[in-house]
């Protein structure tokens, strides 16, 4: 799609299984976007077949020329919907917004102002509603995320984020990694900042997360942890795990052999012998896997770029 140079801000709203009153939500978002005093466009990406949402959005397009709606053939996930919306965006500033109430619309200008000192701004709803269990759950999750990534974030569940265009140009999303976009952006050298915004009074999730949802979040977190820490040094990860496994297996083997030679105890019918042998083999395989990863990284090292140049100062710049 050819970019419209007159558009400064592109807002992307992925619409999936969970969505609110889109007409009321659009009115709130439109007010916040108008307050930015920037030329803007609003892109809705319908992630799946939702007849009620499709009818409302198609009607809004006829009423508001700055709106466009992308209908996906089926549900591909929010990360894919965001990337599809970005492919249609024209602005140098990108705003992602949820299809349900999370922040007040009048907080949108505040998010964009925070971009003056950052490349991506993450919303932190404050004061945050919820009981003690919710606070404990959020604290445990964000504590784990911050420990793994080295960031200091408190509300990754909020989809309202502002960023510069280059962030989504350099960071590819897939699966459900949109929640951990700040960690991926930080890995690329982008400046990540958290901004406290007013939580919408209509932000209340009556449902409950399933056990499968928690499992998916943990797996996504470990995937991002590996991408952030070990993408260009896989031997450090597989080598550490392999060395630990090999060491435990070797110690067991030495103990069993010593027990056989010195004390004369038979090795037959001893499960420990099988376990120690498996640990030794597994440790060697993990170590070999890390070496193979290092060879692949070395081969493609010139094509990999995990840094971002902020600016270059030379004689012509000073002049």
For 30-70, write each residue's pLDDT tens digit: 999 999 999 999 999 999 989 999 999 999 999 999 999 99
Question: 257 and 208 in one domain?
Answer: no
φ, ψ of residue 44 to 5 degrees: the values are -95, 130
pLDDT the model gives residue 176 = 76
Same domain for 168 and 47, yes or no, is yes
Is residue 317's pLDDT more than 60?
A: no
Q: Can you tell me the mean pLDDT for 148-158?
A: 92
> How much is the average pLDDT of 237-254?
92
244 with 224, same domain? no
Q: What is the pLDDT of residue 81?
A: 93
Last residue of a domain, one of 230, 247, 264: 230
Q: Comparing C-alpha atoms, which of 33, 44, 41, 192 is closest to residue 123? A: 192
Query: Does 188 score more than 90 pLDDT?
Result: no
Residue 319, in any domain of the structure: no
- Is residue 311 in a domain? no
Domain contains 309: no
The whole model's pTM is what? 0.80
Domain boundary at 206, 230, 254, which?
230
Q: What angle is formed at CA 149 by the lines to CA 147 and CA 155, rounded to 5 degrees?
A: 80
The CA dihedral of 115, 117, 123, 129, to the nearest 10 degrees, is -140
Is the residue at 2 inside a domain? Answer: no
Distance separating alpha carbons of residues 248 and 106, to the nearest angstrom: 58
What tokens appear for 153 in the block?
Answer: 């974030």
Is there a single domain that holds both residue 247 and residue 173?
no
Domain CATH for 97: 3.90.550.10
Judge if 57 and 203 occupy the same domain.
yes
What distance in Å separates the CA atoms of residue 246 and residue 239, rounded to the nearest whole number? 10
Q: Distance (Å, rounded) from C-alpha 288 to C-alpha 291?
A: 5
Do 159 and 192 fall within a single domain?
yes
pLDDT in the model for residue 248: 95
Q: Lowest mean pLDDT: which of 15-24, 170-179, 240-249?
A: 170-179
Assign 9 a pLDDT band (cuts: 50, 70, 90): very high
What mean pLDDT comes out for the span 162-182?
89
Beta bridge partners of 11: 42, 95
| Rounded mean pLDDT, 129-139 | 83
Summary mean pLDDT of the chain: 88
Q: State whether 196 and 95 are in the same domain.
A: yes
* Residue 245 domain flag: yes
| In a domain? residue 310 | no
- Confidence band, pLDDT 50/70/90 cuts, at residue 236: confident
| Domain shared by 36 and 85, yes or no | yes
Residues 267 and 147 in one domain: no
- The residues near 265 (Cβ < 8 Å, ≥ 6 apart) are 259
Q: Which residues are paired to 124 by β-bridges?
A: 196
Predicted confidence at residue 231, as pLDDT, reads 73
pLDDT tens-place string over residues 214-235: 677 788 878 877 777 777 788 8
SS3 content of the chain, % helix, strand, coil (to 5): 55, 15, 35
247 shares a domain with 141? no
Q: Tell me, yes or no, whether 244 lies in a domain.
A: yes
C-alpha distances in angstroms, 135 versus 77, 138, 270, 284? 27, 5, 49, 43
192-197 and 120-125 as β-strands: parallel, antiparallel, unpaired?
Answer: parallel
Residue 311, phi then psi, degrees to nearest 5 = -165, 160
Q: With respect to residue 1, please indicate whether it lies within any of the assigned structural domains.
A: no
Q: How confident is the model at residue 210 (pLDDT cuts 50, 70, 90)?
A: low
User: Is 41 in the same domain as 132?
Assistant: yes
Domain boundary pick from 230, 251, 272: 230
- Judge if 154 and 259 occupy the same domain: no
- Residue 132 — very low, low, confident or very high, per pLDDT cuts 50/70/90? confident
Q: Among the listed ranges 189-203, 239-253, 296-310, which one has the minimum average pLDDT value? A: 296-310
96 has a pLDDT exceeding 80: yes
Q: Which domain holds residue 112?
A: 9-230
How many domains are contained in the chain?
A: 2
Taken in order 117, 91, 53, 181, is the CA torsion positive or negative? negative
Q: With 80 as the cut, is the pLDDT of residue 298 above it?
A: no
């Amino acid at each position: 799609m050819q970019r419209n140079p007159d558009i400064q801000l592109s807002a992307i709203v992925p619409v999936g299984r969970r969505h609110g009153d889109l007409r009321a939500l659009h009115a709130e978002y439109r007010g916040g976007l108008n307050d930015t005093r920037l030329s803007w466009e609003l892109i809705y990406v319908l992630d799946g077949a939702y007849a009620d949402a499709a009818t409302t959005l198609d009607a809004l397009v006829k009423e508001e020329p700055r709106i466009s709606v992308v209908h996906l053939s089926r549900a591909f996930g929010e990360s894919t919907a965001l990337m599809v919306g970005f492919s249609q965006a024209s602005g140098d500033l990108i705003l992602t917004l949820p299809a349900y109430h999370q922040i007040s619309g009048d907080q949108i200008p505040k998010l964009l102002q925070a971009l003056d000192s950052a490349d991506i701004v993450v919303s932190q709803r404050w004061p945050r509603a919820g009981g003690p269990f919710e606070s404990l759950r959020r604290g445990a999750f964000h504590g784990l995320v911050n420990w793994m990534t080295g960031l200091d974030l408190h509300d990754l569940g909020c989809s309202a984020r502002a960023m510069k265009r280059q962030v989504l140009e350099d960071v590819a999303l897939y699966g459900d990694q949109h929640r951990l976009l700040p960690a991926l952006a930080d890995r690329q050298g982008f400046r990540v900042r958290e901004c406290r915004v007013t939580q919408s009074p209509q932000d209340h999730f009556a449902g409950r997360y399933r056990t499968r949802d928690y499992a998916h979040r943990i797996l996504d977190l470990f995937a991002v942890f590996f991408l952030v820490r070990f993408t260009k040094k896989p031997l450090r990860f597989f080598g550490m795990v392999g060395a630990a496994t090999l060491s435990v297996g070797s110690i067991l083997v030495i103990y069993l052999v010593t027990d056989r030679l010195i004390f004369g105890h038979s090795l037959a019918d001893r499960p420990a012998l099988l376990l120690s042998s498996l640990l030794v083999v597994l440790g060697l395989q993990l170590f070999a896997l890390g070496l193979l990863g290092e060879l692949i990284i070395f081969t493609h090292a010139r094509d990999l770029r995990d840094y971002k140049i902020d600016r270059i100062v030379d004689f012509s710049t000073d002049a």
